[in-house]
C-alpha cells in the first residue's frame, strides 16, 4: 500500500478572507429523527455515530471508503460500513453471521464470551479482494475475505493468536502484520495467507518506546508508518516511522488531550473481562466522573486515510460516557513528514465541528441504520444483534406476521438468557419503547425490555402461579418492584440520558400515559461486556425448562437531540455565558472582548449582546449590538489577541463548534484555536485555547442564549 501525503487543500489560508454568501439553513424540510453528523451546510459535527463504534479501521478504494469495527460477543459480527465522503455512512454487511467456537459462544453450560469475540479488526484491500483480520482470544487469528465488501465473506482461522494486529501488503508482494502491547512486534504471512512464516516474528519497536496497542500499519511516501494508542497516563496517539521495515523507528505524539469537552462517565471498576457474570446480590464498585486523574479518555486507537485530492483524515475513538466508545473524524495536517491530527496552528487537537472532506461526490445527510422496527420485514434490520449466538429454532418473524416472537429458554438470570436481541443505545438522550404481548407466557417465564449492561436493569412481564405481574429489576441496588397486571398487552419503555449516565424504566397499558417503575438506573461503563448499554428484548424461563413465548411489536427509538437545525443561531441576537466562571462576554469601551459578572450593568448592556452573522459553511461573524464592531482576532501573536473592529476582516470569521445543550465554542479561522478567557484571572479574551477540558470550565466553552436588544 503506497501512499503519498500532501497538505490538505480545503483548509483556509490564514491571511485570506473571502466573504462567502450566506448559506442559510440546510435545504432539508423535515426535522431529523436520528443522529447524523452531516450538518447539511458543508460541515459535520462529531461524533460520526452517537452510539458505540469502537476500534475503527478505514480504507479507501477508488472513490469509496470502507470502515470496520469491533463487535465482540454481539452477532452477527464484524460490521462493514461504506461512505463516499467519510461523514455519511451506510451499512454494507456483517462479515460473520455467527461465531460459534463452543458453549461459551452460545451462553451454554454457564459459560459466556462477554467482552471477547471480535476485537480490533483490520480491513484491507489487495488485488481486488477485501480482507478483514481479527484476533479472537483463545481461538487465534480469523481472516475474512470477499471480492465484494457487501458480502458474502469467506472465513478461515489461523492457529495463531495475534493481538490488535494491522496488516500491510507491501509493494514487493510480501505481507506483514504488526501487533502486541507497549512495544511493536512484526510477523510475516505466507503469500497465500495460509499461515505465518516460521521464524519471522521479531520486535521492531521495544516496549521502552511505549507505543501502546491498536496499531495501524501503512507505507506512506516510502516510509513504514505505524499509528498506535498509548494509554499511559490518560491516552494519546503515537506515530512511528522508518525507512526500513525493521527500523530504526522514530516516534512522535500526533494527538493528545482531545476529549471534545467530555468527561469520562461513571465507571464500574470491580467487574473484569474474565470474571464471572455477576448475579443478583452482587456488589459493584462505582466511581463517578472526574474521579480519575484527567477525568476522560482522549481520542485514541484509530487510523488515517487519504482522499483523491491529497487531503488526509483520521478516524479514532473516544470513550463517550455510558454510550460507550464512539468514532470521531479529524482533519490531518502533515508537518515535517508526520500526520498530526488537527489543524495548522493547533496540532494534536481536533475540531468538533469542521468542513466536510473535499470529495467529488454530493452526498445527502444520512445515518447507517434505521433503529425503529415494526418487525414486518422478512429479516431483522441490520441495527439488531443477538447477545451471543442465537438458537434459530426459538425465535421467528413469521409465526406471527408483524411481530418478533421469542420462545423462552431456561436461564438463571437476564444476563445469561439466550436469544436476547439487542441494539446499541444512542445518545445523548433517547427513548426506546416496545409493545409486548405476554399472553402466551407459561409459569416461570419472564419477557420484557432490558438495559443490557453490568449492572443491568430490566422491566417485563412474568407469569406466576397467580397470573401475570409487571416486574422491574435494578441489579445495582438489587431491587425488585412487582405489581399485578390486568392486561397481557403492555408497552415498556427505557429512557436514557447518556450524558448523565442515567436511565428510567416505565410502562403503559394504553400507550399514552407511562408510569415510572423503580428508581433511576445508574449506567456505568465496565470491562466485562466492554460495551455501552444496549436496549434488549428478552424472554426466558426461570424454572429450568422451555416455556411459552412472547410477541414484541412496534419497537420505536426517539432521539430528542437528533434535530440540530437550531443549534447554530444564524441571524439571532445572543448572549455568551462562560462556563468557566459564569461571566458574560462583553465588548468593553476599550474595544476588547472582556467578561463581566452576570448581574452587572455591563451584562445588561448592548455590549453583551451579539448578532450572529451567517458567513456560510457553519462560519459566523459576531457583531456587538453597542456599535463597537465585530469580534476579531488581530494577529498570530502569543495570545491571538481578540478585539472589536468596526470593519469585518478575515480575523472575524469563526467556525461555530456545536457542543449541544446550548453550549458552543468559537474556533478562530485565523489561529485554528478557540476564543477563551482564563476563568480565574479574568484577562481579556484571546484566541489561543487549543480546546475544551473535560469539564468545560477552562474558559473556552460558552452557554449561548437567544435574547433581544436592550
pLDDT of residue 289: 84
Task: Identify the pLDDT of residue 296.
Answer: 64
| Most distant CA pair in the chain, distance | 80
CA atoms of 243 and 253, how far apart (whole Å): 19
**pTM here?**
0.95
Round to whole Å and give the CA distance between 83 and 368. Answer: 9
Q: How far is CA 588 from the centre of its chain?
A: 41
Grid coordinates in use for 539? Answer: 424472554
DSSP-based three-state secondary structure for 606: helix
Q: How far is CA 279 from the centre of its chain?
A: 29
HSE toward the beta carbon, residue 62, CA cutoff 13 A? 5
- 400 by Cβ neighbours in 10 Å (0-12 / 13-18 / 19+) ranks as middle
HEC readout, 508-525: ECCCCCCEEEEEEEECCE
Q: What is the pLDDT of residues 354-404, one digit of tens each?
A: 999 999 999 999 999 999 999 999 999 999 999 999 999 999 999 999 999
Range(s) within the chain of domains with CATH label 2.60.120.200: 385-558
Q: C-alpha grid cell for residue 340?
A: 498530526
Residues 6+ apart with CB under 8 A from 30: none
Residue whose C-alpha cell reads 461459551 in the numeric block: 104
- CATH 2.115.10.20 placement within the chain: 2-263+286-355
* Residue 405 three-state SS: strand
- Per-residue pLDDT tens digits for 555-601: 999 999 999 999 999 999 999 999 999 999 999 988 899 999 999 99
Tens of pLDDT, residue by residue over 116-129, are 999 999 999 999 99
Tell me the average pLDDT across 432-438. 98
Instruction: Tell me what percent of the chain is helix, strand and coil, each rounded to the nearest 5.
Output: 5, 45, 50
Go through 514-550 and write b for each residue having 16 or more CB atoms within 10 A of its CB, e for each that does not.
Answer: beebbeebbbbbbbbbbbbbbbbbbbbbbeeebbbbb
pLDDT tens-place string over residues 48-69:
999 999 999 999 999 999 999 9
- The 3-state secondary structure of 526-555 reads CCCCCCCCEEEEEEEECCCCCCCEEEEEEE
Phi, psi of 184 (to 5 degrees): -130, 125
CB atoms within 10 A of CB 90: 14
pLDDT value of position 190: 97
Grid cell digits, residue 372: 425503529
Residues 309-361 have pLDDT tens digits of: 999 999 999 988 999 999 999 999 999 999 999 999 999 999 999 999 999 99
Give percent of the chain above pLDDT 70.
94
If you average pLDDT over every residue of the chain, what do you get? 93
At 231 the pLDDT is 79
Neighbours of 370 (CB within 10 A): 12
- Pairing label, strands 457-464, 312-319: unpaired
The CATH code that applies to domain 2-263+286-355 is: 2.115.10.20
Distance CA 523, CA 504 (A): 10
Give the CATH class of 385-558. Answer: mainly beta
- Res 10: pLDDT: 34
φ, ψ for residue 22, nearest 5 deg: -60, 130
β-strand pairing of 2-3 with 346-347:
unpaired
Residues forming beta bridges with residue 119, ordered by sequence position = 135
Confidence of residue 77 (pLDDT cuts 50, 70, 90): very high
pLDDT, residue 709, reads 62
pLDDT of 304 above 90: yes
Grid coordinates of 79? 460490521
> Could you give the C-alpha distances from 574 to 383, 494, 628, in angstroms and in order?
39, 35, 16
Give the residue range(s) of CATH 2.80.10.50 domains in the chain.
Answer: 573-706
pLDDT at 410 over 60: yes
CB 494 within 8 A of CB 474: no
pLDDT (mean) for 447-457: 98
Say how many C-beta atoms besides its own lie within 10 A of residue 175's C-beta. 20
Residue 294 has pLDDT above 90, yes or no: no
Q: What is the pLDDT of residues 531-568, one digit of tens each?
A: 999 999 999 999 999 999 999 999 999 999 999 999 99
> How does residue 682 score in pLDDT terms, banded at 50, 70 and 90?
confident
Q: Cα separation of 141 and 2, whole Å? A: 25
Instruction: Kindly indicate the confidence band of residue 637, based on its pLDDT and cuts at 50, 70 and 90.
Output: low
Does position 9 have pLDDT exceeding 90, yes or no? no
Confidence category of residue 28, pLDDT binned at 50, 70, 90: low
Radius of gyration, CA atoms only, the chain: 26
Among the listed residues 323, 371, 328, 696, the one whose alpha carbon sits nearest the alpha carbon of residue 498: 323
What is the dihedral angle through the alpha carbons of 257, 263, 266, 268, rounded to the nearest 10 degrees?
0
Tens digits of per-residue pLDDT, 139-183? Answer: 999 999 999 999 999 999 998 999 889 999 999 999 999 999 889
Confidence of residue 295 (pLDDT cuts 50, 70, 90): low
Taken in order 567, 565, 312, 233, is the CA torsion positive or negative? positive
Pairing mode, strands 429-437 and 593-596:
unpaired
Alpha carbons within 13 A on the beta-carbon side of 372: 14
Contacts of 280 (CB under 8 A, 6+ apart): 413, 475, 478
Residue 664 has pLDDT above 80, yes or no: yes
For domain 573-706, the CATH class is: mainly beta
CB neighbour list of residue 383: distance below 8 Å, 6 or more residues apart: 369, 370, 371, 373, 423, 424
DSSP 557-579: EE-TTS--TTSS-TT-EEEEEET
Amino acid at each position: 500500500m503506497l501512499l503519498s501525503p500532501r497538505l490538505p487543500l480545503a483548509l483556509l489560508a490564514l491571511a485570506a478572507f473571502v466573504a462567502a454568501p450566506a448559506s442559510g439553513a440546510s435545504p432539508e424540510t423535515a426535522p431529523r429523527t436520528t443522529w447524523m453528523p452531516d450538518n447539511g451546510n458543508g460541515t459535520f459535527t462529531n461524533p460520526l455515530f452517537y452510539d458505540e463504534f469502537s476500534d475503527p479501521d478505514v480504507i479507501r478504494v477508488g472513490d469509496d471508503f470502507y470502515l470496520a469495527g469491533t463487535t465482540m460477543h454481539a452477532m452477527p459480527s464484524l460490521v462493514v460500513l461504506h461512505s463516499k465522503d467519510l461523514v455519511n455512512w451506510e451499512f454494507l454487511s456483517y462479515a460473520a453471521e455467527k461465531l460459534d467456537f463452543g458453549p461459551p459462544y452460545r451462553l451454554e453450560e454457564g459459560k459466556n464470551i462477554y467482552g471477547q469475540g471480535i476485537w480490533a479488526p483490520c480491513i484491507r484491500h489487495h488485488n481486488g479482494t477485501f480482507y478483514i483480520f481479527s484476533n479472537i482470544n483463545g481461538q487465534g487469528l480469523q481472516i475474512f475475505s470477499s471480492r465484494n465488501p457487501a458480502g458474502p465473506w469467506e472465513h478461515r482461522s489461523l492457529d495463531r493468536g495475534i493481538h490488535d494486529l494491522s496488516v500491510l501488503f507491501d509493494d514487493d508482494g510480501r505481507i506483514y502484520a504488526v501487533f502486541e502491547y507497549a512495544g511493536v512486534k512484526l510477523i510475516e504471512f505466507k503469500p497465500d495467507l495460509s499461515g505465518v512464516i516460521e521464524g519471522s516474528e521479531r520486535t521492531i519497536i521495544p516496549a521502552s518506546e511505549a507505543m501502546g496497542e491498536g496499531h495501524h500499519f501503512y507505507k506512506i511516501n516510502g516510509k513504514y508508518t505505524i499509528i498506535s494508542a498509548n494509554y499511559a497516563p490518560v491516552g494519546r496517539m503515537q506515530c512511528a516511522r522508518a525507512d526500513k521495515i525493521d527500523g530504526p523507528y522514530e516516534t512522535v505524539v500526533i494527538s493528545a488531550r482531545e476529549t471534545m469537552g467530555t468527561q469520562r462517565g461513571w465507571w464500574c471498576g470491580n467487574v473484569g473481562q474474565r470474571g464471572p457474570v455477576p448475579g443478583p446480590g452482587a456488589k459493584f464498585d462505582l466511581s463517578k466522573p472526574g474521579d480519575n486523574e484527567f477525568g476522560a479518555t482522549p481520542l485514541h486507537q484509530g487510523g488515517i486515510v487519504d482522499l483523491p485530492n491529497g487531503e488526509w483524515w483520521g478516524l479514532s475513538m473516544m470513550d463517550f460516557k455510558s454510550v460507550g466508545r464512539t468514532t470521531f473524524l479529524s482533519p490531518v495536517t502533515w508537518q515535517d513528514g508526520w500526520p498530526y491530527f488537527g489543524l495548522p496552528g493547533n496540532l494534536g487537537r481536533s475540531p468538533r465541528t469542521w468542513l466536510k472532506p473535499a470529495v467529488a461526490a454530493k452526498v445527502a445527510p444520512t445515518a447507517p441504520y434505521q433503529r425503529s422496527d415494526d418487525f414486518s420485514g422478512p429479516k431483522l434490520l441490520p441495527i439488531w444483534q443477538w447477545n451471543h449466538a442465537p438458537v434459530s429454532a426459538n425465535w421467528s418473524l413469521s409465526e406471527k406476521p408483524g411481530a418478533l416472537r421469542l420462545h423462552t429458554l431456561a436461564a438463571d438470570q437476564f444476563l445469561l438468557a439466550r436469544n436476547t436481541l439487542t441494539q446499541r443505545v444512542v445518545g445523548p438522550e433517547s427513548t426506546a419503547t416496545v409493545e409486548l404481548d405476554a399472553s402466551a407466557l407459561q409459569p416461570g417465564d419472564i419477557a420484557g425490555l432490558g438495559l443490557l449492561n453490568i449492572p443491568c436493569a430490566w422491566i417485563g412481564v412474568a407469569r406466576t402461579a397467580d397470573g401475570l405481574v409487571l416486574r422491574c429489576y435494578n441489579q445495582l441496588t438489587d431491587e425488585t418492584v412487582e405489581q399485578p397486571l390486568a392486561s397481557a398487552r403492555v408497552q415498556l419503555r427505557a429512557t436514557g440520558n447518556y450524558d448523565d449516565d442515567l436511565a428510567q424504566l416505565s410502562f403503559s397499558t394504553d400507550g399514552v400515559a407511562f408510569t415510572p417503575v423503580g428508581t433511576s438506573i445508574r449506567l456505568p461503563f465496565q470491562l466485562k461486556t466492554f460495551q455501552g448499554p444496549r436496549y434488549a428484548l428478552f424472554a426466558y424461563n426461570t424454572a429450568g425448562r422451555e416455556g411459552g413465548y412472547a410477541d414484541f411489536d412496534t419497537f420505536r427509538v426517539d432521539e430528542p437531540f437528533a434535530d440540530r437545525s437550531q443549534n447554530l443561531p444564524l441571524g439571532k441576537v445572543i448572549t455568551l455565558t462562560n462556563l468557566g466562571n459564569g461571566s458574560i462576554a462583553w465588548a468593553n469601551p476599550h474595544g476588547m472582548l472582556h467578561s463581566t459578572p452576570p448581574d452587572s450593568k455591563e451584562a445588561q448592556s448592548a455590549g453583551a449582546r451579539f448578532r450572529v452573522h451567517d458567513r456560510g459553511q457553519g462560519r459566523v461573524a459576531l457583531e456587538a449590538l453597542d456599535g463597537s464592531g465585530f469580534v476579531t482576532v488581530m494577529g498570530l501573536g502569543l495570545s491571538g489577541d481578540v478585539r472589536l473592529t468596526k470593519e469585518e476582516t478575515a480575523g472575524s470569521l469563526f467556525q461555530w463548534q456545536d457542543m449541544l445543550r446550548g453550549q458552543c465554542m468559537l474556533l478562530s479561522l485565523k489561529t485554528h484555536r478557540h476564543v477563551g478567557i482564563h476563568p480565574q484571572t479574568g484577562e481579556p479574551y484571546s484566541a489561543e485555547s487549543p480546546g475544551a477540558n473535560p469539564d468545560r470550565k477552562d474558559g473556552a466553552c460558552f452557554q449561548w442564549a437567544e435574547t433581544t436588544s436592550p
